[in-house]
Amino acid sequence: MKLAGISRVVAAHEVMLTRSDIRVGRSLDNDVVIEHPSVSGLHAHISFDGKDYVLEDRGSEQGTRVNSEKFKRFVLRRNDLVQFGDVRFRFSSPSDGVIPEAGSVSLYVRRQPKLTTGHKKAMLLGGAAAALLVLVVVAWLIGGESVGTWMGLTGRKAGVDSPEVLKARLVAAVKLLDEDRLVEARTELEQIRGQFADLKSPVAVQAQNALDRIRREELARESIDRVLTLRAKGRADEAWTLMQEVLPQLPPDTHARTQLESLQGPLRDEAAGAHVALARRALEAGDRKTAAAEAEAALKIDGANAEAKKLRATATYVPGAPGQPDEEVVVEYVERRRGGGIDFSGDTGLVDVRGKAAAPASRGRLPQEAVEQVVSSRSAEIRWCYEQGLAREPNLVGKVVAEWTVGENGRVQNARAVHSSLKDDEVTSCILKKIGRWSFPPPSGGDVVVSYPFAFEPKL
């Protein structure tokens, strides 16, 4: 990509953006130098992260505009109109398809004044100064570093801070960075780096490394902002997925990574909990396939989630198949219920009613799936009976094995309790009365006897 000059002062110039880090301003140490009164010493910064060109204003007096609007930071798009002070460029792709060498980006853009007598004198004086500089360099090479030090030729520009002062400023700037004061740290570090003609000087290199660290911190913060935005919108699953993609890419020395890692536990619980809730609703609606898929998704996020394991076992249960879980953890019907004078945990209680059908007996045939479907659809009645017992005894726990006959017309006959460890006869009697009113699909070949255990337990 390139910046093509539009304003008259730069109309004949094109800046090829072939570096990942480009400084724009009036000072001579910038990569793109624009000598115009509306342009600040260090006016703006253009960076490339491998995907986007990002334009950032560096506290300029006249501001940086994109498409006539002021911005502190902007991701550039093709044909954007970029304005530094009063000088305008068009952000576009190279028209001839040829990308110059990397060094060509350091373009010096300035107005060419007419040569007056004063200018000519200045040029003569400049030539004399250049000749003197050559003599000094020769003397330095012959006579050691003393001459060079005396003339300020040790990597720093003439008239700048001493090495001791620059080192102290660098330490203070790094401390600002450690305190997460990025704007102040960047300003100080850019001023330190700008005082070196030789950017390979140790202090200049350290300043550049600190600036690179600021850039990494900013990229990390952009990522965490995206994660927090998704979480705030209730899209915890997407936020978790994005976090897993972003976290390994973040350098360990960033504040944003530390913040993102602190959110990992709570966000994992939220994302897994969202899938568990969907699995529960699907199971209560009789959609075992969806329930199994949602429970599996929850376990991919949190492999230790006990409730997701239980829901997956329930959803994948096949009556009569070998290797099935114990009946105490299969075919679970759980529902949140408010009010009614029953208070298990605040104003919300969880009642767990569980069981599975034994293989139907006697001369007729009735698929176990049909039995499970009817019991599932009428589970609220069984739960109601149990809740009446909980109102009398909050710690009521036990199991009732009910047995009944399904006649040829599908009606229940002779409902009875063949076993009960539930120490409340009223609950057992209530359950049998409810079962006695149920209807099943008419069995083929005669009557069918069904045995079904119900396990009851209050969940706090």
Distance (Å, rounded) from C-alpha 358 to C-alpha 375?
13
Residue 434 confidence (pLDDT)? 92
Burial of 49-66, coded b for 16+ CB within 10 Å and e otherwise, reads eeeebbbbbbebebbbbb
The answer, yes or no, to whether residue 93 has pLDDT greater than 70, is yes
Residue 286 confidence (pLDDT)? 72
**348-354/448-459 β-pairing:** antiparallel
The answer, yes or no, to whether residue 451 has pLDDT greater than 60, is yes
Residue 430 confidence (pLDDT)? 93
Residue 18 confidence (pLDDT)? 81
* 122-132 mean pLDDT: 65
Contact 85/91 with Cβ under 8 angstroms? no
Residue 153 confidence (pLDDT)? 38
340-366 tens-digit pLDDT? 222 222 222 233 334 444 444 455 678
Least confident of 23-37, 73-87, 114-128, 179-193: 114-128
pLDDT band at 314 (very low <50, low <70, confident <90, very high): confident
Which comes out higher in pLDDT, residue 441 or 333? 441
DSSP 249: G
**Coil, helix or strand for 95?**
coil
Residue 231 confidence (pLDDT)? 82
Report for 155-159, 210-214, 412-416: range of highest mean pLDDT: 412-416
For the chain, first and last CA: distance in Å? 63
Q: Which residue do the tokens 């809740």 mark?
A: 387
Of 426, 419, 422, 417, whose CA–CA distance to 395 is shortest? 422
Of 222, 245, 221, 166, whose CA–CA distance to 198 is shortest? 166
The answer, yes or no, to whether residue 396 has pLDDT greater than 60, is yes
Rounded to 5 degrees, what are φ and ψ at 415? -75, 130
Distance (Å, rounded) from C-alpha 170 to C-alpha 197?
17
Contact 30/15 with Cβ under 8 angstroms? no
The answer, yes or no, to whether residue 381 has pLDDT greater than 60, is yes
- And the tokens for 362? 């006697």
Residue 325 confidence (pLDDT)? 45
Number of neighbours of residue 94 by Cβ within 10 angstroms? 15
Distance (Å, rounded) from C-alpha 423 to C-alpha 352?
17
Least confident of 60-69, 122-131, 246-255, 327-336: 327-336
